[in-house]
Chains A and B, each alone.
Chain A
Amino acid sequence: MNKKLDAEYYQLLEQIQAADFVLVELTLYLDTHPDDQNALTQFNQYSEYSRQLKAIFEPRYGPLLQYGNSPVGQQWDWGSGPWPWQV
């Protein structure tokens, strides 16, 4: 069973994708520039920002991560959509 997806779903998802993209980019950069303190500061800022966005998204649209890395609440609905290729 798929949850009802409103405009806000897509808006929030895109914000998360944008924030997490910064984190992917900074991760690879820091892998070869581990002493760049500015990049590390930016990484920590975006890490916190991403956590905040997911704290809004997940109670409404379900967990993003498995194995206990996202809150699941009182109902197991990991198997309910949408899956990424369905939206």
Chain B
Amino acid sequence: MWIYEKKLQYPVKVSTCNPKLAKYLIEQYGGADGELAAALRYLNQRYTIPDKVIGLLTDIGTEEFAHLEMIATMVYKLTKDATPQQMRAAGLAERYVNHDGALFYENAAGEPWSAKYIQAKGDPIADLYEDIAAEEKARATYQWLIDISDDPDVNDSLRFLREREIVHSMRFREAVEILKEEQNRKKIF
């Protein structure tokens, strides 16, 4: 089971109401390389991955939900005081008429989240390489978000998330080596 903790993994502050920035950030909420996709991908792959890396997939998958909550907090804080006119000016009229101020799992272009974004191949090396690629794509997305953002407070939290992608990628690479070592050992005997 999972136990919720009533705190963010890392503080999220925003400088000012900024629905345009929220529109871009939603990419990491419900986009192909976003945090929802990451969490669901890893936690679903756990059931058929070799025992040696189940712990890692469980722990990284769980951390992704903490990141999802950080992105949600950014989007919520950046839009909670926006008027309908400000939402329209930010290009969020379509979101507003469907959801008002509610969050929704979609990408920056308004495409709803899809399980097509993730894969479970049942082949441990194939799955882990997908996970490494996912972390690198998420890292790149965070970099582009930092580059386009005009909010220094949001950028502080985005930099934290970008660094986490780097660490996750590193751990997944180590997991590949652990499995390769185990495979080689089996061949000898």
Residues of chain B within 8 A (CB-CB) of A62 are 6
B135-189: which residues lie under 8 A (CB-CB) from chain A? Answer: 167-168, 171, 174-175, 178
Binds A, one of B20-28, B52-60, B87-95: B52-60
Q: How many residues of B contact A (CB 8 A)?
A: 27
Q: Report the bound CA distance from A78 to B151 in whole Å.
A: 32
Contacts A28-B167, A31-B55, A32-B175 known; A21 to B9 CB distance under 8 Å?
Answer: yes
Instruction: Pick the residue among A17, A28, A64, A83 that contacts B171 (CB under 8 A).
Output: A28
Q: Report the bound CA distance from A66 to B178 in whole Å.
A: 35
A64 touches B175 (CB 8 A): no
**What interface size band does chain A fall in?**
20 to 34
Q: Looking at A25, A65, A85, which has the most chain B CB atoms within 10 Å of its CB?
A: A85
Q: Separation in Å of the B176 CB from the closest CB of chain A?
A: 10
B9 touches A64 (CB 8 A): no
Residues of chain A within 8 A (CB-CB) of B60 are 28
Q: Report the bound CA distance from A20 to B11 in whole Å.
A: 13
Residues of chain A within 8 A (CB-CB) of B56 are 28, 31-32
Contacts A24-B63, A28-B56, A65-B3 known; A85 to B9 CB distance under 8 Å?
Answer: no
Instruction: Pick the residue among A14, A24, A84 that contacts B69 (CB under 8 A).
Output: A84
A84 touches B167 (CB 8 A): no
Binds A, one of B70-78, B106-114, B116-124: B70-78
A13 sits at the interface (CB 8 A)? yes
B69 touches A85 (CB 8 A): yes
Residues of chain B touching chain A, judged by Cβ–Cβ distance below 8 Å, are: 3-12, 53, 55-56, 59-60, 63, 69, 72-73, 76-77, 167-168, 171, 174-175, 178
- A–B Cβ pairs within 8 angstroms, 6 of them: A14-B11, A17-B9, A28-B167, A28-B171, A64-B7, A84-B69
